[in-house]
Structure 1
Amino acid sequence: MKIAVFLPNWVGDAVMATPALSAIRRRWPDGEVVAVLRPYVADVLEGTGLVDRVIDWDPRDKTHESSGWKLARQLRRERFDAAVLFPNSLRSGWMAWLSGATRRIGFARDARRWLLTDPIPVTSRGVPHPVLDDYLRLAAELDCPSGDHRMHLATSASDEACWREIRARRGDVLGPRPYICINPGGAFGAAKHWPSQSFGELAGRIVSSTDQSVVVVCGPSEREEAREICRWAEDSRVVSLADEASSLGLTKAVIRHATALVSTDSGPRHFAAPFGVPVVTLFGPTHVAWSETGYEREVRVQLDVECGPCQQRICPLGHHRCMTELSADRVFRELQTLMQQQTSKSGLPVEHGVQSAHEIATMARLSTLN
């Protein structure tokens, strides 16, 4: 069995696709699973073993082998038995049809139903629901039924080594010290962003209340925001990775070894669950149901505003109250509650955040401070 999986374009959605990929792998352990994806998404799946090969597809790059008719000819030469389409776009349906795959499985969105051999009826009609469940429906259509919502990620040896080197180089504030990770990103749009000042206040509160450091991760477009957070924190124990070589692999390694993560509703937020790291997610314009995964160590924080959740990339009213009125004090209290819940449970795995008796004591201290 040779299967092409057209993966989502968003990092977080790619992580939420891993339960479906796992179901496909279990059903066809000797089959070949080839991921067709945006180049940056490949780092998300590296080391998981869920796909055997990747084929880059960047529709924006008109000169690359991944574009247009060149990609179609490449896919046709592969002679796929099946193509599974995670994106709902007409373009992905068209490319799957051009590939000549015997079965073409996807949701029957608009005109592309005629490009599919196995169009799945759309039943939600815009009602917020977990995207992860939609992805499992795709796998089930390929005779790979599963109710397992566990997401899968891995870190590479090189990414782990890179993070160890950074910690050693900045040993005055990192070294063996436990840390809480902050992810301020949001490629979706400005409406998802929490103010840098608020993140800075939160980071300062954490380092002044505990012996933990704070590490701010960022993508290439978020470097200045990460620096601003450190400036607002006014404490050398708040460290950004803005001046380091940025990669999703490094971000995975940083989050994997964190005590906890505080994140906007963006891709790296979903790195926490596969590694068992507690996470506080800050929601603004997006409905929490879309990205619900059932992860028990996640606290979702969202203000109840009359205009939300609007699902808009930029606040259409100009005030952005859903995020600007969310206080650092509120988020700190939510983090305290989450950490208190973790310290009350026994038997947490070492690699899933609680790494030592020292760190357990730190978590307990954070959970009791006001």
Structure 2
Amino acid sequence: MKIAVFLPNWIGDAVMATPALRAIRHQYPDAEIVTIQRPYVADALDGLDLVDRTISLKSGQNLVSRLQLLQQLRRERFDLSILFPNSFRSAWLAFLAGIPRRVGINRDGRGWLLTDAIPARDKQTPHPAIDEYLRIATFLVEEAQTDSEVSLPLSRTMELAVTEADQKRWKAFLDQQSAEFKSRPLICLNPGGAFGAAKHWPTAHFGELAERIANELDRSVLVVCGPAEKTEALQIVEQANHHLVTSLAAEPLHLGLTKAAIQQAELLVTTDSGPRHFAAPFQVPVVTLFGPTHILWSETYYDRGLHLQLDLDCGPCQQRVCPLGHHRCMKDLRADQVFRAVVSLLDQQNKKAA
């Protein structure tokens, strides 16, 4: 059997899909599993044994490139397609590729393109993405079971890997750091947020937090970033003005380097963005700062995570840019509150380890 798995477009969602991928891999051990995804998603999942091959789905392709991709998918002669995204586009592509069986959630008017349409839940009620992906995997697993077999809930354990190349990237970064920086426990800060400006926590708050962690907790602080957050990362380091605070902004940026950094961290403080989900697979405690997004949409039930969100009348609004212009959900979440959460979570972990 040959299976095409269309992965989510967001890095965090792709990580949340790994429990479902593991269930599919277990259910079809002899199948060739090929994922269709954005190139950066492939980088995030690099090193895992969940799939056999990947096909890159690039954005902004011209008509010729799109036709070439479609021809490639048709030549693959897949038996089954599994659609994690709820988009009409993914179902349409699987249909045009001639894949005889197409399994996905019946949303966005695409039910007629699916051979196996899983009923959609109420769009207005938050439900975790990780459970939605597992619903698809559960459908396939239960279908293959005999009457004598008992259906058990699938694991929500997310997976990531750090490759040898990632380890080399991390070593190259560490080689440039002082002995003092390397001798202390590391706390990572992630200011990113591809969703939109409304998810961003103010740079000044991050800077104050970094300075307090370095001064009062005697930890090294590393600001991780993607290309879009380079300037912000440099500003956080400048704001903190402490020799134990630095960033990845001057490095050749790669998701593998970010994974390697978070794997080595004692704790991660992050906005509700993709790298937030790098903590759980590596069992790293994480404080997540929520603003406009409802916590339940991306809940992963990770027992070493702590969520912070202000209770405001206007939120969570799920908007990419604050519709009221004040952005209070993030601006009013002060560095002192986050610092206390960091101390609390570190204390919890220390007690568990004792």
Query: TM-score per shorter chain, which class?
Result: over 0.9
Residue 202 of structure 2 corresponds to residue 195 of structure 1:
yes
State the match for 1:311 in structure 2.
318
Question: In the TM superposition, what is the alpha-carbon distance from 1:130 to its structure 2 partner?
Answer: 0.6
Secondary structure of 2:109's match?
Answer: helix
Aligned counterparts of 1:322 and 1:4: Cα–Cα separation in 2:
40
Question: How many pairs were matched up?
Answer: 345
Secondary structure of 1:174's match?
Answer: helix
Q: Which of 139-148 and 13-22 deviates more?
A: 139-148
Secondary structure of 1:142's match?
Answer: helix
2:7 touches 2:83 (CA, 8 Å); kept in 1? yes
User: What do the CA deviations read for 1:215-268 (whole angstroms, capped 9, x no partner)?
Assistant: 000000100000110111011211011110111110000000000000000000
Aligned counterparts of 2:127 and 2:347: Cα–Cα separation in 1:
29
Residue 283 of structure 2 corresponds to residue 283 of structure 1:
no
Question: In the TM superposition, what is the alpha-carbon distance from 1:63 to its structure 2 partner?
Answer: 7.2
Residue 90 of structure 2 corresponds to residue 92 of structure 1:
yes
Aligned counterpart for 1:341 among listed residues 336, 344, 348: 348
State the match for 1:246 in structure 2.
253
State the match for 1:362 in structure 2.
none
State the match for 1:301 in structure 2.
308
Distance 1:342 1:118, change over 3 A: same
Structure 2's unaligned 5+ residue stretches are 143-150
1:6 touches 1:37 (CA, 8 Å); kept in 2? yes
**Which residue identity lines up with residue 48 of structure 1 in the other structure?**
L
Cα RMSD of the aligned pairs, angstroms, is: 1.3
**Which residue identity lines up with residue 55 of structure 1 in the other structure?**
I
State the match for 2:21 in structure 1.
21
Aligned counterparts of 1:176 and 1:168: Cα–Cα separation in 2:
12
1:168 touches 1:174 (CA, 8 Å); kept in 2? no
2:47 touches 2:160 (CA, 8 Å); kept in 1? yes
Question: In the TM superposition, what is the alpha-carbon distance from 1:172 to its structure 2 partner?
Answer: 4.2
1:190 touches 1:314 (CA, 8 Å); kept in 2? yes
**Which residue identity lines up with residue 143 of structure 1 in the other structure?**
V
**Which residue identity lines up with residue 91 of structure 1 in the other structure?**
R
User: What do the CA deviations read for 1:337-357 (whole angstroms, capped 9, x no partner)?
Assistant: 11111001138xxxxxxxxxx
Question: In the TM superposition, what is the alpha-carbon distance from 1:178 to its structure 2 partner?
Answer: 1.8
User: If the length of structure 1 is used for normalisation, what is the TM-score?
Assistant: 0.91
Aligned counterparts of 1:155 and 1:162: Cα–Cα separation in 2:
10
Q: Which of 38-47 and 280-289 deviates more?
A: 38-47
1:8 touches 1:86 (CA, 8 Å); kept in 2? yes
Aligned counterparts of 1:287 and 1:123: Cα–Cα separation in 2:
16
Aligned counterparts of 2:36 and 2:328: Cα–Cα separation in 1:
38
User: If the length of structure 2 is used for normalisation, what is the TM-score?
Assistant: 0.95
**How many percent identity over aligned positions?**
57
Aligned counterparts of 2:68 and 2:50: Cα–Cα separation in 1:
26
Q: Which of 165-174 and 82-91 deviates more?
A: 165-174
Structure 1's unaligned 5+ residue stretches are 348-370
2:225 touches 2:248 (CA, 8 Å); kept in 1? yes
Residue 229 of structure 2 corresponds to residue 222 of structure 1:
yes
Secondary structure of 1:124's match?
Answer: coil
Question: In the TM superposition, what is the alpha-carbon distance from 1:111 to its structure 2 partner?
Answer: 2.5
